[in-house]
Amino acid sequence: MYLHVQRLINDIEADEPDPAAANALQEGLGGQFGEMRTMMQYLFQSMNFRGPAGKPYRDLLQGIGTEEISHVELIGTTIVRLLDGSPRYNGKKTDPLDEPGAGGRTPLENALHESNIHHYLVASQGALPVDAAGNPWSGSYVYNSGNLVLDLLYNLMLESTGRLQKCRIYEMTSNKTARSTISYLIVRDQAHENAYARALETLGVSWASVLPIPKTNAEKFPEVRKLLDLGLQSKQYSFDLTAQSEAGRIFQGMSPSKDGTQLDASEQAPAGVPLTIAEERFEEFSPGLDPELLALVQATAELEMAEVQPLYGPIPPPEGTS
Amino acid sequence: MYLHVQRLINDIEADEPDPAAANALQEGLGGQFGEMRTMMQYLFQSMNFRGPAGKPYRDLLQGIGTEEISHVELIGTTIVRLLDGSPRYNGKKTDPLDEPGAGGRTPLENALHESNIHHYLVASQGALPVDAAGNPWSGSYVYNSGNLVLDLLYNLMLESTGRLQKCRIYEMTSNKTARSTISYLIVRDQAHENAYARALETLGVSWASVLPIPKTNAEKFPEVRKLLDLGLQSKQYSFDLTAQSEAGRIFQGMSPSKDGTQLDASEQAPAGVPLTIAEERFEEFSPGLDPELLALVQATAELEMAEVQPLYGPIPPPEGTS
Amino acid sequence: MYLHVQRLINDIEADEPDPAAANALQEGLGGQFGEMRTMMQYLFQSMNFRGPAGKPYRDLLQGIGTEEISHVELIGTTIVRLLDGSPRYNGKKTDPLDEPGAGGRTPLENALHESNIHHYLVASQGALPVDAAGNPWSGSYVYNSGNLVLDLLYNLMLESTGRLQKCRIYEMTSNKTARSTISYLIVRDQAHENAYARALETLGVSWASVLPIPKTNAEKFPEVRKLLDLGLQSKQYSFDLTAQSEAGRIFQGMSPSKDGTQLDASEQAPAGVPLTIAEERFEEFSPGLDPELLALVQATAELEMAEVQPLYGPIPPPEGTS
Amino acid sequence: MYLHVQRLINDIEADEPDPAAANALQEGLGGQFGEMRTMMQYLFQSMNFRGPAGKPYRDLLQGIGTEEISHVELIGTTIVRLLDGSPRYNGKKTDPLDEPGAGGRTPLENALHESNIHHYLVASQGALPVDAAGNPWSGSYVYNSGNLVLDLLYNLMLESTGRLQKCRIYEMTSNKTARSTISYLIVRDQAHENAYARALETLGVSWASVLPIPKTNAEKFPEVRKLLDLGLQSKQYSFDLTAQSEAGRIFQGMSPSKDGTQLDASEQAPAGVPLTIAEERFEEFSPGLDPELLALVQATAELEMAEVQPLYGPIPPPEGTS
Amino acid sequence: MYLHVQRLINDIEADEPDPAAANALQEGLGGQFGEMRTMMQYLFQSMNFRGPAGKPYRDLLQGIGTEEISHVELIGTTIVRLLDGSPRYNGKKTDPLDEPGAGGRTPLENALHESNIHHYLVASQGALPVDAAGNPWSGSYVYNSGNLVLDLLYNLMLESTGRLQKCRIYEMTSNKTARSTISYLIVRDQAHENAYARALETLGVSWASVLPIPKTNAEKFPEVRKLLDLGLQSKQYSFDLTAQSEAGRIFQGMSPSKDGTQLDASEQAPAGVPLTIAEERFEEFSPGLDPELLALVQATAELEMAEVQPLYGPIPPPEGTS
Amino acid sequence: MYLHVQRLINDIEADEPDPAAANALQEGLGGQFGEMRTMMQYLFQSMNFRGPAGKPYRDLLQGIGTEEISHVELIGTTIVRLLDGSPRYNGKKTDPLDEPGAGGRTPLENALHESNIHHYLVASQGALPVDAAGNPWSGSYVYNSGNLVLDLLYNLMLESTGRLQKCRIYEMTSNKTARSTISYLIVRDQAHENAYARALETLGVSWASVLPIPKTNAEKFPEVRKLLDLGLQSKQYSFDLTAQSEAGRIFQGMSPSKDGTQLDASEQAPAGVPLTIAEERFEEFSPGLDPELLALVQATAELEMAEVQPLYGPIPPPEGTS
């Protein structure tokens, strides 16, 4: 069972809208080696896992899989921020009577020349479950052989390829919004690569100096450097509310990437940052609520909020967060 | 950000393996109107949501979307149980030296005549991200118009269709494992249908006696009857660890299904039941660890488990659970 | 612009339900060489046609394309009849209070063992836009090179392959419902093959005795023989309400199939037979109207029917039809 | 059975070629919410319809479905006009000896930089059965649950989403050719939305002021305004040659959109405008007939046109048309 | 550049037709981990290879890729043999006047109940480019990251998974035709797994006892045992006519599978066995040549065969072959 | 069985990188009418061929199919050359310590604006198994009816359409690298079109002056003219190492294209030109070997190359080649 926290797993830096960068990030969301794929692959590997003796491996898969859902949320939200307002429509955002296209204006003209017209025509300046070339995500991507060693080997390759592609995306754009999320995911992909490499080490494989694969010089990317200095490539959170995860039996010892750090599985989850909700975009008819409907929503909002009876909690506000 | 509890959202009744029923359930997992689709659709609608004034609607989408992840886990695990052991391979499960196929035996012969050969050939008697006709799940299923009213209308139709298909699956099999999960999902789909119908009521729509759509006689299915009597069709959990959800501002008042119940959003999450891990299946080479590797795993398992430092917790054991 | 007549283009013989035959016919509906494909291909070739001098060729494509829409209607309806009632559910069809699955019954159990479970789970014992292996119809099937000679050559091959597959389907089932439609389509495919072969003859190609391709012995199928004796393989209707079609400039002279007949384009359309509406299937919750809704429909039905002001008509009842 | 009239359902205004606009319109032709989808969905819902008591609903579906075929023809032809000549190839169109690319010229260079290279490389400056992102149309789009209420709800959402996307396309281009067709389809989509909303009203649903969904300000688009003033959003033609349609039993009374108009189902079909055939494009080798083949076609064209013996007619020229 | 030898790379044992086994083998031909995929993946990796210093790796990929084309030929031919004659149509094969289906017979009735109806309806009892669940092969399967280490790691996983699936197929059928090819491919997959594992060893990875992955007990399958005893798991042919392959610089030393054998790259190609051509199947209208066409073919066959002027040859008959 | 020669079937002229042209060429590689399709279609038609009497036809299919593998290699390599270095990254190619992206540079910025971002993000400036609109190659393209006449007719249409599209690509770009390969393939497609047209002539069809279809004026393209003057449109190589091909029984006599040439099947294979390996691209992390790994490769390269024991050879250096 899963629960949600109204916080993003990492902060997204503000910058100008940039639909071309948004489209490149779609590969990291809905591509063959993106976050929807890792998320689904590890959830299926956890559900289908065989052999109670292998619980530490199952828990490792379950923990990383849970983290990937938050990555889907992070990169999807980043794409929204890169697209939001990109038509540079000078609409009076707060005026619900505003009339996009009235009199024959063309506030969405830019859509004809951006990377994926569906971002404007279908998704209302939002994220799509597709890759950077517009292919919809497919269930055929999910790999789960039922053989633990093969699955670990595949996962290692999957994380490495995801990181490789994100390093290439880093080289495609200098937009800070895009880079803040890409850099974070580069480092987390490396943490997961370390996790699977370490799991294979427990089965006897020795990697010499071949890890990380590939040896991008991501440590020379300033935003990545900062996160490496915090050791994020060598931490794995449990994301487990019941403290039953045994993943730490595997994720320990010296990092297989031989960067001199110790693997550390002692934290439950990062603190995260608050989630916000995007503005209306009237030129997309989103929400396009007319004054009458707005009034109805308002009325609803004034009702008393129901008391939620907590099973898992009460939750203390995480330290060091606003 | 998401966290995980090592518990299933609902109990799965034990019964004989039944691969034909397992395949029918695949529609509920990976079909156009299955749990992977509702999960992804609501997560995208939450990420892409526009208009801070609409937070109660966003929170409703977010809460139901989070529940759907647990439904994926539930129905996937149910499929595993229905498939597990279905080749009736009399292997000595605990003997790692067991030799499937040795001497030319054919322990997987049944696979040639079951509904989806991939359950044995690819998925090792596990669940697949495909529908009951074998089509892989596709990102093109996800609907998110950016217009709130349209999205609510679509979601209402989506939940209703999901429930319709599950009622048909109920009529296809009397296997108790299958039916326990199908019945639970029928009732939860109805709860979600109520949620979206109620949200449309806040915008002025009035349903007369048309809900639920369709009027299946599911209340005549004994397993469903039991859950309706518990009122599960009129509850919506927040699945929110930070108690910030405002979904209860919408999910309240008389049920739009006009069954005389009150909508209730006052609980965080159901208690759930413990997760277990499936047995090895040597005829699938899953995990197929040879004695040498088993010993390595054993050695690993004897290491001290890392201490997890909780941010969200410590978590009290839910009442009434083992 | 298109208009509709509430008549089927050919009669469907009555026989027992036969879901396996229904599934084979799906290839003729939604397969790569089925009626949805010919319909769409010729409509696109008509819309995209270049060169006013080639109007007779455009009109030939337009006329055959229009016929194919009626073929979609014919084969779809045939599939409905083959599926309808196939679960042999002894429901009291006329009793809207009937309760499928009540008390835990399994009236749709057969669905687990039929060719395509979606016929019951998704389509309510109706036709689907998929082929006999369950693949959805795809726009990538449509061929339209923009070069007239190539398009004619492709269409000749397309009709020939469609006929070849239908001859194979004929050999798969002796169900009379299936065979009456299959036989009709075999003969009409041959008429279209003749049309494209003749069009290529006007450009200089001479076929010697190679036509029809392939030389199936379909004339030895009794149901086909009857239609050949009526000369249906050598007729092409215009389906044109404005009598502007010049297709007859091409479709004339001796048949390229060298069966001794003359091609004849002098008729507008066949007489057809009345359309009927299928019965409710309560076990599919289709329509699953409860008594209250039924009463509402009834009330609506008692209102006066609006007068339709005809532009194309009045239409005399076709001769020899009921 | 279907018949064809050599007339377009609405006029297409002339303007410059505009391949970017043509590509945006592809969403309206081959997209998930485009005309191919509505056409196929309603044809399948008509074929698979259950319950003779529901004939007015079946006839409504059948009539709108027939109209959608003409919409496919209309938007497809509009795309052809927007693409035709867009490479601005200064060929002597009437000279069959013209030599595109001779001496190494590059008359199709523009294709490398337009929205969809297939418009030039595959479709010869013609329409394709794909969406604006290049995805082929898929049979998996078609929804037909077998439950009438669900189907009506889906259709309402489908028409609303189609209209929403067309309003966005309107905001993307000011090309008159594109806008004349887009505006017409916006208004017709609203008529269909009204039809399904009204059908749901007959079942008890009351919409208050929520319709149309979404409330775009399309009435502020001048081209749309003109059509609304003609009342086209409140008319539904029968497209039925046998005057048997009972759709008018539903499509009557005040418009559910509450714009003060009365729904009117008293006309058979609009008058339409004459169809024309596009010019040859030699740089596409389309038709690329050399002089010898042209002479053959000419010879063929001089033969007597076959007499068509009408079943449905003779047809009087519609009033007010050339 | 590629050349062909009219010989199969390995012998196929004769047995009864077995369409269920044929369908299982489709996974090995057109599945995600089948021979079409390995073939295409290695051909793309060879074409796209970067870095002249890495020629031995390129040559290894090129050599294995070339072998995979022969594997496609082998497994495709095996499927033909398993399907051929499976309808048990008692046709007089040599009589071209034979009339399948004449008088209303149903010689293809079995097709309705076999694993994939397309084997009879589309492919004329031949192989299809699809997997065992009927999904067409897709270009999206091909992996080529551009990073050598990642590509090697992926290829190792790919060969291991292919072998795992083939071991499962072995356990599904005891048909000798199926098993003779499956066993051969199990052993060759292991040879390729050794090749990629060895290549990774040259980069520093050490596998301890983890190879082969998975440790199936395939050596207990009698047909596999025989081939292992011949050492086929430790040989890699160059398939290179110009003796320029440097793959032997990598494929040497002790096998990474630690079975005590030495890797050996000293042979160009196996001897193979003669190819034969399947019989006509008149019930499939294949070739369905009527007597007239047969006579034409005969006449053609009596013409003198053209002299082929060899560039690569003359070719001595391989030793030990008929 | 297949063997490989480390030579390209035709020379590729050098020119500047041109990613837009590279993308257009993808249609010729992975499109519906590209080389992957012809290759796979003819290989399947060869494997599935029925009727020993038809061996000359089988051998014709086999020979052309083998040539198509070399065409895949040729056009894939051409795409690599057009993409390679297109980001104009001024990297010091020979410096393995070079640091793409270091300090936040964006050496791959161009990728955001090129035709297919996957060329940089996924394929490392290499070829992809997709078409020019980004659709992955699909097994559903392969046509193999089992009826010889239909297959020949299809193949004729396939080669003609492939040639038509390549003529259009020629008109899209003047890049010499692109044109040298496109022109060669135009001429070879015509040779294959002649082969299938001739095969149909042996069955009685007579083409008058309709061939080649379409009549592009490709002979006016200077690069094509040169190859036509060499007679390459009327030659078909056997690509057969065992001199058993009987294709020459068909491919003889006057060309059906009526250009006055004689068909000639007397050569085994063209001489071809040497293959080279592309440079490293560090900005793609391809190979991205760090100095340590490079040293390991170096060490490996210094080992003795294994002696290859030839079965098909020894091979004399082809005349007139370096």
Q: Provide the CA C124 distance to its chain's centre, in angstroms.
A: 20
Cα separation, C148 vs F71, in Å, equals: 28
Give the tens place of pLDDT for each residue, E9-50.
999 999 999 999 999 999 999 999 999 999 999 999 999 999
Contact E101 C27 (CB under 8 A): no
- What number is the average pLDDT over the span A180-198? 98
Residue C225 neighbours by CB under 8 Å, 6+ apart: C219
Find the angle CA(D155)-CA(D159)-CA(D165) to the nearest 5 degrees.
140
Q: Is residue E154 part of a domain?
A: yes
Cα separation, E174 vs C99, in Å, equals: 47
Q: Is residue D313 part of a domain?
A: no
Nearest alpha-carbon partner for D240 in D58, D113, D86: D58
Length of chain F: 322
- What number is the average pLDDT over the span F149-157? 97
Looking at residue C242, its pLDDT comes to 83
Region label for A288, one of left (φ > 0), alpha (ψ between -120 and 50) or beta (otherwise): left
Q: Is residue B275 part of a domain?
A: yes
Give the tens place of pLDDT for each residue, D94-126.
454 457 888 898 999 999 999 999 999 999 999
Sign of CA dihedral A17, A19, A21, A27: positive
Give the tens place of pLDDT for each residue, B241-285.
988 999 999 999 999 999 999 999 999 999 999 998 888 888 888
Cα separation, E16 vs E174, in Å, equals: 11
Cα separation, F171 vs D103, in Å, equals: 10
DSSP state letter for B314 = P
CA dihedral C90, C93, C95, C96 (to 10 degrees): 110
- D125, B120 in Cβ contact below 8 A? no
Q: Is residue A320 part of a domain?
A: no
- F242, E321 in Cβ contact below 8 A? no
CATH code: domain of residue B178: 1.20.1260.10
Q: Is residue F309 part of a domain?
A: no
Q: Could you give the C-alpha distances from A33 to A70, A130, A255, E138, F286, in angstroms and in order?
A: 16, 12, 23, 17, 17
pLDDT band at C3 (very low <50, low <70, confident <90, very high): very high
Nearest alpha-carbon partner for D31 in D141, D163, D159: D141
Region label for F102, one of left (φ > 0), alpha (ψ between -120 and 50) or beta (otherwise): beta
H or E stretch including D294?
A: helix D291-301
H or E stretch including A7?
A: strand A7-8
Q: What are phi and psi of C148, to 5 degrees?
A: -60, -45
Q: Could you give the C-alpha distances from B145 to A128, A154, B189, D116, D158, in angstroms and in order?
A: 11, 36, 22, 24, 11
**Tokens at C83, concatenated:** 């599926």
Asked if residue A280 belongs to a known ligand binding site, the reply is: no
Nearest CA in chain A to B269: A311
pLDDT at B91 over 60: no
**Predicted TM-score of the model (pTM):** 0.95
Contact E118 C134 (CB under 8 A): no
Average predicted confidence (pLDDT) for chain B: 89
Give the tens place of pLDDT for each residue, F186-213.
999 999 999 999 999 998 999 998 999 9
DSSP for C25-81, please give it: HHHHHHSTTSHHHHHHHHHHHHHT-B-GGGHHHHHHHHHHHHHHHHHHHHHHHHHHH
Cα separation, B251 vs B268, in Å, equals: 14
- Return residues 122-161 of A near D (CB < 8 Å): 122, 134, 136
- What number is the average pLDDT over the span E233-251? 92
Looking at residue C307, its pLDDT comes to 64
Cα separation, C25 vs E303, in Å, equals: 44
The pairing of strands B253-254 and B262-263 is: antiparallel
Taking CB atoms and an 8 Å cutoff, what residues of chain A touch E160?
A: 150, 153
- What number is the average pLDDT over the span C265-294? 82
Cα separation, E288 vs F147, in Å, equals: 7
Angle of helix D291-301 relative to helix C55-83, nearest 10 degrees, comes to 70
The owner of tokens 């603190």 is A271
Nearest alpha-carbon partner for F13 in F164, F217, F270, F223: F223
B270-274, B277-281, B306-310, F145-149: least confidently modelled range: B306-310
H or E stretch including F3?
A: strand F2-4
The owner of tokens 């190659």 is F137
Nearest alpha-carbon partner for B61 in B208, B229, B238: B238
Nearest alpha-carbon partner for A237 in B2, B277, B272, B70: B2
DSSP for A137-182, please give it: PBGGG----S-HHHHHHHHHHHHHHHHHHHHHHHTT---HHHHHHH
DSSP state letter for F5 = -
Mutation target to probe the F interface, by most F beta carbons within 10 A, among A27, A167, A168 is: A168
The owner of tokens 């395509």 is C116
Nearest CA in chain E to A135: E140
- What number is the average pLDDT over the span E92-100? 56
Considering only CA atoms, give the Rg of chain C: 22
The pairing of strands C2-4 and D2-4 is: antiparallel
Q: How many domains does chain E have?
A: 1
> By three-state DSSP, how is residue C300 classified?
helix
Contact F121 A216 (CB under 8 A): no
| Subunits with 3+ C-beta pairs closer than 8 A to E | A, B, C, F
Looking at residue E311, its pLDDT comes to 75
Contact E278 F49 (CB under 8 A): yes
Contact A306 B248 (CB under 8 A): yes
Taking CB atoms and an 8 Å cutoff, what residues of chain C touch D296?
A: 202-204
Contact F66 E241 (CB under 8 A): no
Q: Provide the CA E30 distance to its chain's centre, in angstroms.
A: 11
pLDDT at F317 over 60: no
Asked if residue F114 belongs to a known ligand binding site, the reply is: no
Average predicted confidence (pLDDT) for chain D: 89
H or E stretch including D156?
A: helix D148-170
**Tokens at D148, concatenated:** 């009438």
Cα separation, B45 vs A227, in Å, equals: 30
Asked if residue D279 belongs to a known ligand binding site, the reply is: no
- F94, F278 in Cβ contact below 8 A? no
Task: Pick D221's closest partner by Cβ from A101, A113, A290.
Answer: A101
Give the domain range for residue D38.
Answer: 7-301
Asked if residue A4 belongs to a known ligand binding site, the reply is: no
Between B and C, how many residue pairs show a Cβ–Cβ distance under 8 A?
A: 86
Nearest CA in chain C to F136: C140
- What number is the average pLDDT over the span A213-242? 92
Give yes or no for B220 touching E (CB within 8 A). Answer: no
Per-residue exposure over C161-172, b if at least 16 CB sit within 10 Å of its own CB, e if not? bbbbbbbbbbbb
Give yes or no for F309 touching C (CB within 8 A). Answer: no
pLDDT band at E321 (very low <50, low <70, confident <90, very high): very low
- What number is the average pLDDT over the span C41-51? 96
pLDDT band at E314 (very low <50, low <70, confident <90, very high): very low
Looking at residue C95, its pLDDT comes to 53
Nearest CA in chain D to A291: D215
**Chains A and E lie in contact, requiring 3 or more CB pairs less than 8 Å apart:** yes
Give yes or no for C281 touching D (CB within 8 A). Answer: yes
| Subunits with 3+ C-beta pairs closer than 8 A to B | A, C, D, E
- Return residues 246-265 of C near D (CB < 8 Å): 246-252, 264-265
Find the angle CA(D99)-CA(D101)-CA(D103) to the nearest 5 degrees.
90
Cα separation, B3 vs E209, in Å, equals: 37
Cα separation, E243 vs B227, in Å, equals: 73
Q: Is residue F301 part of a domain?
A: no
pLDDT at D158 over 50: yes
Contact C103 B222 (CB under 8 A): yes
Tell me what ipTM this predicted complex has: 0.93
Residue A264 bridge partners (DSSP): A235
Contact C249 D306 (CB under 8 A): yes
- D83, D175 in Cβ contact below 8 A? no
Question: Per the omega criterion (within 30 degrees of 0), is the bond before D136 cis?
Answer: no
Nearest alpha-carbon partner for C34 in C119, C116, C131: C131
pLDDT at C273 over 90: yes
Q: Is residue F132 part of a domain?
A: yes
Give yes or no for E169 touching B (CB within 8 A). Answer: yes
Cα separation, C279 vs C260, in Å, equals: 45
Looking at residue D314, its pLDDT comes to 44
The pairing of strands D253-254 and C273-274 is: unpaired
**Tokens at D67, concatenated:** 């109209």
pLDDT at A317 over 80: no
Contact E150 A161 (CB under 8 A): yes
Nearest alpha-carbon partner for D67 in D77, D55, D56, D59: D59
Nearest CA in chain C to F32: C140
Cα separation, B168 vs B171, in Å, equals: 5
Q: Is residue C304 part of a domain?
A: no
> By three-state DSSP, how is residue D58 classified?
helix
Min Cα distance A278 → chain B (Å) is 5
Give the tens place of pLDDT for each residue, A84-122.
999 876 554 555 545 788 889 899 999 999 999 999 999
Nearest alpha-carbon partner for C148 in D285, E307, B294: D285
Cα separation, E268 vs F307, in Å, equals: 10
Give the tens place of pLDDT for each residue, D160-195.
999 999 999 999 999 999 999 999 999 999 999 999
